[in-house]
Amino acid sequence: MSRLLVTGGAGFIGSNFVHHVIAHTDHTVTVLDKLTYAGNEASLAGLPEDRVRLVVGDIADAAVVDPLVAEADAVVHYAAESHNDNSLHDPRPFLDTNIIGTYTLLEAARRYDVRFHHISTDEVYGDLELDDPARFTESTPYNPSSPYSSTKAGSDLLVRAWVRSFGVRATISNCSNNYGPYQHVEKFIPRQITNVLRGIRPKLYGTGENVRDWIHADDHSSAVLTILDKGEIGETYLIGADGEKDNKSVVELILQITGNPTDAYDLVTDRPGHDLRYAIDSTKLRTELGWKPTYGDFESGLAATIDWYRENEAWWAPTKDGVEAFYASKGQ
């Protein structure tokens, strides 16, 4: 049994991880989360109070971070400003949280010699051409495109430096696009699902040809637990489930599953600097640590996610109108 400190545990992937940990291990969890617009206490509802505790605070505040890290056996660091579109509008919070926040946690992990796992993204590698047979691997050079991905790249490099220079016992994982329950409606899949549920036409940026490599958040969680358990200190592991799909196909699938005409969507203003394609080669994680995903079928995972949003309107309804007003102001 271990005591995990999970930063950003009230966000999308962090809360999925906390649910996964409670269901599959006997660890206890302290969530440290600032509850920004993206954090939601309701995502942790129903979890046992004797195993999960929420501390509301900022990862960039050493006075909050230090005692929590000191009492933990391991830190799993999910907290971030995570939305590319927001980073194009107002980059500053991305620097404060993703860079200074990660630095503050690393200093605490160094001070108290606590095992650290850093959650990152495939976006640090930039993008691929649609017809490029290559996929990202652990040795692909960093080439981030947006303020979001450049701050995530910076945070990864801080972790590597704290391992090398100070002996911090850290690992890093870079995962592809996640889908599943508890994802904020600003993101692509929940935005389109909740649009359809509200009778609004889905909105595809540009031509809809951009490709993302989808993995269910629960598979991401099992991969992170595997790395915590068996990962080698100082190593980076790419997490992916061979789920490449272009955005247009995803929207068509959402329309089809919900019984709508598959061409009932709008093409809208493209995202500036929009990465064309991401694709992960997760051979290292699979062969060295023996992990494999369990959600093999994207269509049934997507159908279950649509059901979740249909059944949990109270979770997303309060944020929907504000998100749509923000996008409408940008022609999206």
Number of Cβ within a 10 Å radius of residue 140: 18
Single-letter amino acid, residue 205: Y
**Which candidate in 58, 123, 252, 275 is catalytic?**
123
Q: Alpha-carbon distance 61 to 34, whole Å? A: 10
Q: Alpha-carbon distance 81 to 152, whole Å? A: 9
Q: What is the four-CA torsion angle of 226, 230, 235, 238, rounded to 10 degrees?
A: -20
CA angle (216 as vertex; 212, 222 as ends), nearest 5? 125
Which residue, 35 or 264, has its beta carbon nearer to ligand NAD? 35
171 is an interface residue for ligand TDX by CB under 6 A? no
Footprint (CB under 6 A) of ligand TDX, residues 54-83: 82-83
122 is catalytic: yes
Q: What DSSP string runs through 214-278?
A: -EEHHHHHHHHHHHHHHPPTT-EEEE--S-EEEHHHHHHHHHHHTT--TT--EEEPPPTT---B-
39 is an interface residue for ligand NAD by CB under 6 A? yes
**Contact pattern for ligand NAD over residues 226 through 245, marking x by CB under 6 A:** --------------------
Which residue, 66 or 96, has its beta carbon nearer to ligand TDX? 96
263 is catalytic: no
86 is in the binding site of which of ligand TDX, ligand NAD, none (Cβ under 5 to 8 A by kind)? none
Nearest residue to ligand TDX, using CB? 121
208 is an interface residue for ligand NAD by CB under 6 A? no
Q: Are 242 and 235 in contact (CB under 8 A)?
A: no
Which residue, 264 or 304, has its beta carbon nearer to ligand NAD? 304
Q: What DSSP string runs through 282-297?
A: -HHHHHHH----S---
Number of Cβ within a 10 Å radius of residue 32: 29
121 is an interface residue for ligand TDX by CB under 6 A? yes
204 is in the binding site of which of ligand TDX, ligand NAD, none (Cβ under 5 to 8 A by kind)? ligand TDX
Footprint (CB under 6 A) of ligand NAD, residues 77-136: 78-82, 97, 101, 119, 121
The least distance separating ligand NAD from the CB of residue 199, rounded to whole angstroms, comes to 26
Q: Alpha-carbon distance 232 to 117, whole Å? A: 11
Do β-strands 236-239 and 178-179 pair in parallel, antiparallel, or remain unpaired? unpaired
Interacting residues toward ligand TDX by CB under 6 A: 82-84, 121, 123, 177, 187-188, 191, 203-205, 210, 212, 247, 271
Interacting residues toward ligand NAD by CB under 6 A: 7-8, 10-14, 32-36, 38-39, 58-60, 78-82, 97, 101, 119, 121, 152, 175, 177-178, 184
Catalytic residues: 122-123, 148
